Amino acid sequence: MAPNSAIDPVDLTLDELRLALAPLIADAAIFDGWKDAAIVQAAADFGADPDVAKLAFPGGAMDMIGAWIAATDAKMAEALPAELLGAMPIRERIRSLVQFRLDAIAGQEEALKRATAIMAMPQNVAKSLKTGWHSADIMWRLAGDTATDYNHYTKRTILAGIYTATLAVFADDSSDDKARTKAFLGRRIEGVMKFEKTKAKWLNPNRETFSVSRFLGRLRYPSR
């Protein structure tokens, strides 16, 4: 990714610099790993002072990876605002959000593998789960979720699991246009929708019909 000539790194706060550098660090992590060398390379590409850049990531690798994920969250929210997604069926909203994230990191599969290994370390698991849940929360909010009961939590937990599993397939997918990943994601979403349909019938045995737009919980807007 080429630096944006309209942005002067000196004018950025550390939080802003962290997000700006994150995709470049991911590019460098393909070769250097999630280490200071990746920060230095990203800073050089962006035109930032490497010493200042290091200050933006006091937590080392997990800070770099967290910033990469946060930058992807921000790009997703900008590209797929709620008003755009609102015209789609729930199934397509979720698929589009997850697919955008995959497309955003295409070409960075090696960095993803390295990041996954770091996030799986025992000392990092709790933070990794929290980060994944937060991304799932953003996706559901963009998809129009208004649930406040237990479904609020179950939907995010399940979506985080779907996304994590899809990332694992994506990282090693050498098929044309990541066809294997897209098929896997489609099956996962379809499976959850079938499960939800069955669950709804079990919880509401006297109900004759069930709307397939209910995905991981009741997503219809409250009655006016």
Side-chain-facing half-sphere of 14: CA atoms under 13 Å: 11
Could you list the residue range(s) of the whole structural domain that residue 125 is in? 87-224
Residue 203 has pLDDT above 80, yes or no: no
Please state the φ and ψ torsions of residue 210, each to the nearest 5 degrees. Answer: -145, 130
Q: Is 112 in contact with 29 (CB distance < 8 Å)?
A: no
Mean pLDDT value across residues 197-217: 55
Mean pLDDT value across residues 95-99: 96
Q: How far is CA 101 from CA 69, 125, 181, in A?
A: 9, 21, 12
Distance from C-alpha of 177 to C-alpha of 183, rounded to nearest angstrom: 11
pLDDT tens digit string along 164-177?
A: 999 999 999 999 99
- Residue 93 covered by a domain: yes
Q: Is 118 in contact with 62 (CB distance < 8 Å)?
A: yes
pLDDT tens digit string along 82-95?
A: 899 999 998 899 99
pTM of the predicted model as reported, rounded to 2 decimal places? 0.84
Mean pLDDT value across residues 100-109: 97
Q: Is 1 in contact with 23 (CB distance < 8 Å)?
A: yes
| Total of domains in the chain | 1
- Residue 160 covered by a domain: yes
Distance from C-alpha of 209 to C-alpha of 104, rounded to nearest angstrom: 38
Structure tokens at 208: 């004759």
